[in-house]
Chains A and B, each alone.
Chain A
Amino acid sequence: MSNLFARREQSRSVERHNSPRHPWLAGPYIFWAAGFIVLPLVLVFYYGLSGPDGTFTLANLAAIAQPIFRNALGQSLLISFGTTAICLVLAYPLAYILSKNRSRSGAFIIILIVLPMWINFLLRILAVQMLIANNGIINMILGHLGLAQMRLINTRAAIFLGTAYDYFPFMVLPIYNAMCKIDHDIIEAAHDLGANALTTFRRIIVPLSLPGVISGIIMVFIPSISEFAIADILGGSRILLFGNVIEQEFNMSNDWHTGSGLSLILMVFIIISMIVMHRVDKDGEGQIIW
């Protein structure tokens, strides 16, 4: 009898486990994570907070006050806020239209919108470059129509176009997911209580889709604030973004300390946006469809 009892206790203790109880199987990954996730970040902190002689200093962080770095950060913030705004303005109506009518074709359309996300982003930028280059397709068409050529490439507008084109799907998806989760009964209840379409949209749809909007903003904001390749190709190295100056510190000046210091400053912006995301998006709307 006591034996049976013991057995029952034992089975309760393993109740939630459906695989061998071997925590050590995570061992290789724990070493991997310690060596290749934690240690590299420790190195960034070490270099960022020390001078060439190895003593503690905040000079690498203070480097942000230098005009070249300050301007680059300003440009990056401008680009990332601008890109986020463009994407939001274009994506919100689209997500609303698609979520309102969740038919088979709607699901197919959302897949088609997400599809470019899985194409190498350099190829997407190559495609944009082809259109807007001085001897590109747009200018060719303008020429055939007898219109004046436009100087599109190597401008800030070109960078905006590239980043917005690149990150647009990241904005659509979370908003669409959040809108799909809105209970239709709530919308009907609003109608029954006399709300017109505009009021329903303003008081129901907008607040309930807010978590998706926040994740979308984060998912566009973080990559675009650290962008350097798009600026290089579409901006013709004329406009230096924060990512460009960080990259140059490492690859051209070989100044690991300043480069790491600037990386730490970039991380501050990322951490701030992550805290915002965590506060608002608890259900993980930001997850990518797979």
Chain B
Amino acid sequence: MVEKRSVIEKVYIGVIFVLLYVPLGVLAVWSFNNSISRSVWGGFTLHWYADLFRNAEIMSALATTAKLTVSAALIATLLGTLACIGMAAMGKKLQLVLTTTTNIPMLNADIVTGIALMLLFMRFMRLGFSSMLIAHVTLAVPYVILNVMPKLKTTNHAVYEAALDLGATPFYAFIHITLPEIFPGILSGFLMAFTLSLDDFVITYFTKGPGINTISTMIYQQMRRGINPQMYALSTLLFVIILIILLAVNRVSARQDDPRR
């Protein structure tokens, strides 16, 4: 039974939407404002976008972010997928211990995870790109496991066994039978690791070396310094990129739910 929404309900949804999207909308509109002041509309311009690509600091932060995010997501996906296969073959007790440990970074406050890693790095190595990479992988692996594990548990084991009975080596059977079945989980795990790493501020803030910045930590520094309309342009661009990634994920999960599978 589907009831029609009443006027009050529609208004309520509308108000929430306005509250959620007006700040973002204003930000996007102001990225085209031909005035450095926030309180003056100086006409339409694209020059903040042009400046953005000429700003060495922003470009280097963008490059660091891209390198960091892609490598962290790849390493986390590999590590997490292997961990799932290994864990599936483990005894219940060991599996429980490992799952519980895996849950820690997901449940703990980011600031504590960040500080804990910082202590480790300051003590045993130095802060720099590699410390950020390790931190991001640590943050992302649990989410890869979260995505791959359920897929691995629901795959049809009879097919894998049939392949073995027909003379396939376990490796061959894995590549041709198991992998295609768990691949959607691996892919959404990868995309989730990617987004988390892209979005992270707190853990990066504590584990980054001096003079190296990701987009997040750079925005933080810039915001404390004052207004820079290039940031609005950057935000708008990132918003569009995230939107595209989300649409891609949505398509992947829509395919996963497809009954024809």
B186 close to A (CB within 8 Å): no
Interfacial chain B residues near A120, Cβ < 8 Å: 198-199, 201, 215-216, 219, 235, 238
Verify if A56 is at the interface (C-beta below 8 Å from B): no
Among candidates B24, B30, B104, B246, residue contacting A41 with C-beta atoms closer than 8 Å: B104
Whole-angstrom CA separation of A23 from B201 in the bound complex: 34
Q: Which residues of A contact B20 (CB under 8 A)?
A: 112-113, 116, 165, 168
> Does A145 interact with chain B (Cβ within 8 Å)?
no
A243 close to B (CB within 8 Å): yes
With both beta carbons as reference points, the residue of chain B lying nearest to A164 in the complex is identified as B19
- The 23 sampled A-B contact pairs (Cβ below 8 Å) are A22-B86, A22-B89, A22-B170, A25-B82, A29-B86, A33-B98, A36-B137, A41-B104, A43-B116, A43-B120, A103-B2, A111-B250, A112-B17, A121-B199, A126-B231, A127-B235, A130-B26, A229-B202, A233-B224, A256-B119, A263-B112, A263-B115, A290-B188
Q: Is A180 an interface residue (CB 8 A)?
A: no
Tell me which of A126, A223, A233 contacts B27 (CB under 8 A): A126
Q: Which 8 A-B pairs have the closest CB atoms?
A: A26-B86, A40-B116, A29-B83, A127-B23, A18-B157, A226-B109, A25-B86, A20-B170
B146-187 residues with Cβ-Cβ distance < 8 A to A are 147, 152, 155-157, 159-161, 170-171, 173-174, 177-178, 181
Asked if B108 is at the interface (CB within 8 A of a chain A CB), the reply is yes
Chain B residues with CB under 8 Å of A98's CB are: 13
Cβ A26 vs Cβ B82 within 8 A: yes
Q: Is the CB of A41 within 8 A of B116?
A: yes
Give Cα A100–Cα B119 distance, bound, in whole angstroms: 49
Q: Does B73 contact A (CB under 8 A)?
A: no
Task: Collect the chain A residues with CB atoms within 8 Å of residue B206's CB.
Answer: 250
Contacts of B260 in A (CB 8 A): none
Q: Which residues of B contact A225 (CB under 8 A)?
A: 109
Identity of the chain A residue whose Cβ is nearest the Cβ of B188 in the assembled complex: A290
- Does residue A74 face the partner (Cβ distance < 8 Å to B)? no
Give me the interface of A with B, judged by CB distance under 8 Å. Answer: 11, 14-30, 32-33, 36-41, 43-44, 47, 90, 93-94, 97-98, 100-101, 103, 109, 111-113, 115-116, 118-131, 133, 135-137, 139-140, 143, 165, 168, 184, 222-223, 225-226, 228-229, 232-233, 243, 246-247, 250, 256, 259-260, 263, 266-267, 270, 274, 290
**Interface: B71 (CB within 8 A):** no
Once A19-B178, A100-B3, A123-B238 are accepted as A-B contacts, the answer to whether A37 and B85 lie under 8 Å apart by CB is no
Most buried by A among B9, B155, B238: B9
Q: In whole Å, how far is B144's beta carbon from the nearest beta carbon of chain A? A: 10
By a CB distance below 8 angstroms, the chain A residues around B173 are 20
Are B16 and A90 within 8 A (Cβ)? yes
Residues of A within 8 A of B118 (CB): 250
A89 to B: closest C-beta gap in Å: 12
Cα(A193)–Cα(B170), bound, Å: 59
Known: A25-B86, A33-B102, A121-B201. 14 other contacts (CB 8 A): A22-B85, A24-B86, A33-B98, A44-B112, A44-B116, A90-B16, A111-B250, A119-B24, A123-B219, A124-B24, A126-B231, A127-B23, A130-B26, A223-B110
| Chain A min CB distance to B233 (Å) | 11
